Amino acid sequence: MAKTAFVTGGTGFVGANLIRSLLEQNYQVKALVRSQSPKSNLDNLDIQIISSDLNDPQLWTHLQNCDVLFHVAAHYSLWQKDKDLLYQNNVLGTRNILEAARKAEVPRTIYTSSVAAIGVKANGEPADETYQSPMEKLVGNYKKSKYLAEQEAHKAVQAGQDIVIVNPSTPIGGYDIKPTPTGDIILRFLRRQMPAYLDTGLNFINVKDVAIGHILAYEKGITGDRYILGHQNLTLKFILDQLAQITGLPAPQVQVPYWLPFSVAWIDEKVLSLLGKSPSIPIDGVRMSRQVMYYNPAKAIKELGLPQTAIATALTDAVNWFKSNGYV
């Protein structure tokens, strides 16, 4: 008998890749889809669409007879005005879906947290699953909301629910529909809209490996544990140079001092937005870039068998997907 997986956030970047990996492994898939979500990432897939949202009190009825819940859905925003929206979707939404899974007696849940919930070490060294920044040290409301949402998962585990937590780092690849901040960097590079760069660093991973990591967490993960789904710690400059090799376009050579984008972001978000103009650079996004966000994925590699596909492959996939879907 094929197993049935219930996936939230399936229209998004990670969720769309996860659903494809589940189908490749012969799972039957139910995908929770909000009415306002763009559904192109799910076109032509043999899945059951559940038109509802995380706040539906009858959500548990759709989870009955499912073997696993993959709770991937989250609201992502670095705008300070979205604080309440982030809490409603990420914290209360997680609480609701976990309660629905408990009520429906779903045997195991994989909760998609983020390295954002872990935070970064002040000395720039890679953090692992044992590290935790105090919540007040996490930059921005998005990171704080993911931390609080992860606490909801821990509380549910303590109450007897079987939940494994995965913390993806920075995925790269196809189906980046919105796109993510990293996808936006790739797009701006392709559109020749990136004359300079900030000196920052992130942990990157192929989004297909993140998808497989979710399934491996279901199969092998320890209840209550968290697993960093990551690969390489790289500077932004390295990524841009890789993109130059892949595309033949020139990489930016000018490094921007931190104060410049911060000043632009402050004026953008604090002044121009009050005049009815849409801000383009979030303050919290610039604040995050001041920290190198490096992580150690050794636990997931050793215990789950997390794949480590070359980042150049992920970048090529992303470039090809953006081009073939009319973004460039």
CA distance 252 to 195: 5
Q: Across 64-68, 115-119, 179-183, which has the greatest mean pLDDT?
A: 64-68
Domain boundaries, the chain: 4-178+205-231+295-310
Say if residue 276's pLDDT is above 80. Answer: no
Torsion of CA 203, 9, 40, 181, to 10 degrees: -30
pLDDT for 272: 54
Place domain 4-178+205-231+295-310 in its CATH homologous superfamily: NAD(P)-binding Rossmann-like Domain (3.40.50.720)
Say if residue 37's pLDDT is above 90. Answer: no
Which stretches of 25-139 are DSSP H helices? 59-63, 83-86, 93-103
CA distance 175 to 184: 13
Percent of the chain topping pLDDT 90:
68
Query: In this structure, is the dihedral angle defined by the CA atoms of residues 190, 289, 17 and 244, taken in order, positive or negative?
Result: positive
Q: Of 173, 168, 146, which Cα lies nearest the Cα of 78?
A: 146
Say if residue 125's pLDDT is above 80. Answer: yes
pLDDT in tens, 42-67: 999 999 999 999 989 999 999 999 99
- Tell me if 318 sits within 8 A of 173, measured CB to CB: yes
Cα angle 289, 227, 82; round to 5: 45
Predicted model pTM: 0.90
pLDDT for 65: 96
Q: Of 1, 7, 38, which Cα lies nearest the Cα of 21?
A: 7
Which stretches of 159-223 are DSSP H helices? 181-190, 207-220
CA distance 5 to 7: 6
pLDDT for 162: 98
- Tell me if 211 sits within 8 A of 314, measured CB to CB: no
